[in-house]
C-alpha cells in the first residue's frame, strides 16, 4: 500500500499550492538549495559562469604544486551544477515512495513538454538561476519519446521510459515531473502573475528578447494574439513583420526536428547548392553534427573560395539585406528555387546571415527554423567548432584559451586584447589552423570528434565530474 499522502485517487488540481508534499528522502528546501532554482533558501554559488572566465581555477590535484589545471576537478560549480549526490535525490525519492507502482506511473506528454518550455524560458529571464540548460536538455531527451508530432500520438509517457532518456542527475526536471504527477501543475509557473506569464510566453517566441517583451507587457499586451493583431505602436513599440511571422508559426517551431528529417534537408540543400555552384561548401551544425537524434533548428554554415577572409572594419549590412548577385544571394536563390525557402518567410536577410522558415517540399511537412551563415575560409575550423558545440564544451575551450592569455571565438583565436569596446584577438597575431583538431592541440586538450561533443560523451574524457 502506498502512503496515503502520495496515493492518487483523484485528478482534482490543488490550485492554492500552499504546501506541496515532497518525498521523505529529499525536501523541497534541499532540492531548491541544491539547484539554486527552487523555493527553498538559495545557496550562493562558489563560482558562476562569469567568474569562470576571469578567475584562475586550481584543481585539487594541482593545488600543492600551484600549477593551474584545465578545470576544477574538485567541484562541479565549474559547470554551475550542484553535486551529483543532490541532483539524483529527486528521482530516487520518487522510486522509494512509490515502490513497485513506479513502473506504471505516467505523466501527460503535452503538459510536460509545455512545462519544460515555460520553465526554460522563465530561467532565461531570471539570470540569478542557471538551470535553463537542464530544461533544454530534458526537452531534447523527452522529445525522443514524444515523437515528431509533439506527443499527439503518444499522450502519456511512462516515468520508466523517461528514465531511459533523461539523466537521473537532472534534478530540476524530475522535481517538475513529480509536481505534474501529483498536482498536475508546476508551482513556480502557477504562482506567476499575468505579467510574468506573458513574459514567459513572449520570451519563448523567436525574436522576442526580454526588453521588447517588457515594453509590450508594460503597455498592456498579455497574449500572443494581442501582438499578432497589434496596430503600429499600440503596445508601446511596433511589432515587426518578422515577429508576427514567428508568432504565427511558434507552435511548429517549438517541435524538435528528428534527425531523419534534418538528413532530408541536408540532401536537398546539397543538390540545390551544387546546381548553382559545385564549389559551394556547407555543413549543418549543432546537435545534428554531434550525432544527436533531435535538433531544435537547422543551423547551416556555408563557405566558398570567393570569401577567403572577413573584413574586420566591415559595417553591418543595410536594412535592404543581401544583394541578389552576392554570395548570400547565390545561396538564397538556390534554396528558393528548390522550394526550401520563401521570401515572405524570412526573419532577417543580412549579407552574412539569414534567419528564415523552411519546410520540406512534401505533404504534411511543418515549418522549421533555418539559420544560414557565411564563413570566411580562414575561419572555417573555428566556426565549425563553435557552431557544433555543445555550449559546455565551448565554455571549457574558451576558459582554457583565457588561461593561456588568448581569446577564442567563432572566427579566430589568439592573444587577448581588452578595451572599452570589448575583447578581441590582437590583429596580425591570429593563430592559423587548418583543422578543428589543431585548435584542441593548441589548447593542449584531447581532441574530440564532432560526434563526441555532447556533455554525456566527453565529460569523462575532459575529467568533468
Q: In this predicted structure, what is the pLDDT of residue 239?
A: 96
| Mean of the per-residue pLDDT values of the chain | 83
Give residue 26's region: left, alpha or beta (phi > 0; psi -120 to 50).
beta
Residue 88 pLDDT class (50, 70, 90 cuts):
confident
Q: Are 367 and 359 in contact (CB under 8 A)?
A: yes
Q: How far separated are the first and last CA of the chain, in Å rounded? A: 38
Q: Of 26, 46, 52, give the one whose Cα is nearest residue 172.
A: 26
Annotated domain spans of the chain: 28-45+81-190, 194-254, 257-375, 382-458
How sure is the predictor about 311, in pLDDT bands with cuts at 50, 70 and 90? confident
> Is 8 strand, coil or helix?
coil
The residue-averaged pLDDT of 336-345 equals 97
Residue found under cell 516515468: 159
Distance CA 266, CA 272 (A): 10
- For 107-161, the pLDDT digits (tens) are 999 999 999 999 999 999 987 666 788 899 999 999 989 988 888 899 999 999 9
pLDDT on residue 4: 32
pLDDT in tens, 210-250: 899 999 999 999 999 999 999 999 999 999 999 999 999 99
Kindly report, residue by residue over 325-338, the tens digit of the pLDDT.
999 999 999 999 99
Where does 166-204 have alpha helices with state H? 171-183, 187-190, 194-204
For the stretch 271-304, pLDDT in tens is 999 999 999 999 999 999 999 999 999 999 999 9
119: left (phi over 0), alpha (psi -120 to 50) or beta: alpha
What would the grid cell of residue 423 be? 575583447
Q: Would you say residue 72 has pLDDT above 50?
A: no
Q: In what order do the strands lie in the sheet with 406-408?
A: 406-408, 413-419, 422-425
Angstrom distance (rounded) from CA 264 to CA 291: 15
Question: Which of 3.40.50.880, 1.10.150.20, 1.20.140.10, 1.10.580.10 would CATH assign to domain 194-254?
Answer: 1.10.150.20
* Fold held by 257-375: Beta Polymerase; domain 2 (3.30.460)
Domain 194-254 and domain 257-375, same fold? Reply is no
Bigger pLDDT: 59 vs 376: 376
Q: 465: which 3 cell numbers?
A: 565530474
Give every CB contact of residue 187 below 8 A, 6+ residues apart in sequence.
17, 20, 39, 179
CA dihedral sign, ordered 407, 383, 72, 170? positive
Mean pLDDT score, 189-208: 95
Number of Cβ within a 10 Å radius of residue 241:
11
Q: 313 CB contacts (<8 Å, ≥6 apart)?
A: none
382-458 — its CATH code? Answer: 3.30.210.10
Amino acid at each position: 500500500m502506498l502512503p496515503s499522502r502520495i496515493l492518487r485517487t483523484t485528478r482534482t488540481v490543488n490550485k492554492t499550492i500552499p504546501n506541496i508534499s515532497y518525498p521523505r528522502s529529499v525536501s523541497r528546501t534541499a532540492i531548491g538549495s541544491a539547484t539554486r532554482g527552487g523555493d527553498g533558501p538559495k545557496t550562493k554559488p562558489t563560482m558562476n559562469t562569469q567568474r569562470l572566465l576571469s578567475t584562475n581555477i586550481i584543481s585539487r590535484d594541482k593545488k600543492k604544486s600551484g600549477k593551474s589545471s584545465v578545470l576544477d576537478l574538485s567541484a562541479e560549480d565549474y559547470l554551475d551544477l550542484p553535486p551529483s549526490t543532490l541532483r539524483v535525490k529527486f528521482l530516487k525519492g520518487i522510486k522509494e515512495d512509490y515502490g513497485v507502482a513506479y513502473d506504471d506511473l505516467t505523466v501527460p506528454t503535452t503538459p510536460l513538454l509545455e512545462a519544460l518550455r515555460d520553465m526554460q524560458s522563465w530561467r532565461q529571464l531570471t539570470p540569478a538561476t542557471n538551470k535553463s540548460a537542464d530544461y533544454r536538455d530534458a526537452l531534447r531527451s523527452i522529445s525522443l519519446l514524444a515523437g515528431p508530432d509533439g506527443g499527439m500520438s503518444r499522450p502519456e509517457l511512462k516515468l520508466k521510459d523517461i528514465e531511459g532518456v533523461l539523466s537521473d542527475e537532472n534534478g530540476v526536471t524530475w522535481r517538475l515531473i513529480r509536481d505534474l504527477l501529483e498536482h498536475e501543475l508546476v508551482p513556480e509557473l502557477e504562482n506567476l502573475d499575468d505579467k510574468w506569464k506573458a513574459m514567459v510566453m513572449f520570451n519563448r517566441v523567436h525574436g522576442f528578447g526580454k526588453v521588447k517583451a517588457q515594453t509590450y507587457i508594460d503597455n498592456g499586451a498579455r497574449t500572443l494574439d494581442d501582438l499578432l493583431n497589434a496596430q503600429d505602436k499600440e503596445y508601446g513599440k511596433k511589432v515587426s513583420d518578422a515577429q508576427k511571422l514567428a508568432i504565427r508559426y511558434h507552435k511548429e517551431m517549438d517541435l524538435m526536428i528528428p534527425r531523419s528529417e534534418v538528413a532530408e534537408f541536408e540532401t536537398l540543400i546539397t543538390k540545390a547548392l551544387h546546381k548553382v555552384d559545385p564549389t559551394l561548401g556547407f555543413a549543418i551544425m549543432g546537435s545534428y553534427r554531434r550525432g544527436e537524434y533531435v535538433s531544435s533548428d537547422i543551423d547551416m554554415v556555408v563557405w566558398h573560395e570567393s570569401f577567403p577572409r572577413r573584413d574586420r572594419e566591415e559595417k553591418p549590412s543595410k536594412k535592404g539585406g543581401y544583394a541578389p548577385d552576392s554570395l548570400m544571394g547565390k545561396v538564397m536563390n538556390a534554396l528558393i528555387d528548390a522550394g526550401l525557402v520563401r521570401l515572405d518567410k524570412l526573419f532577417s536577410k543580412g549579407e552574412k546571415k539569414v534567419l528564415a522558415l523552411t519546410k520540406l517540399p512534401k505533404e504534411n511537412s511543418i515549418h522549421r527554423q533555418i539559420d544560414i551563415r557565411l564563413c570566411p575560409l580562414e575561419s572555417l575550423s573555428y566556426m565549425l567548432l563553435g557552431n557544433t558545440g555543445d555550449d559546455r564544451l565551448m565554455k571549457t575551450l574558451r576558459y582554457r584559451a583565457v588561461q593561456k592569455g588568448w581569446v577564442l571565438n567563432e572566427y579566430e583565436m589568439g592573444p587577448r586584447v581588452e578595451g572599452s569596446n570589448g575583447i578581441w584577438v590582437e590583429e596580425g597575431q591570429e593563430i592559423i589552423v587548418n583543422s578543428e583538431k589543431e585548435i584542441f592541440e593548441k589548447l593542449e586538450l584531447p581532441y574530440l570528434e564532432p560526434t563526441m561533443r555532447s556533455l554525456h560523451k566527453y565529460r569523462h574524457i575532459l575529467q568533468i565530474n
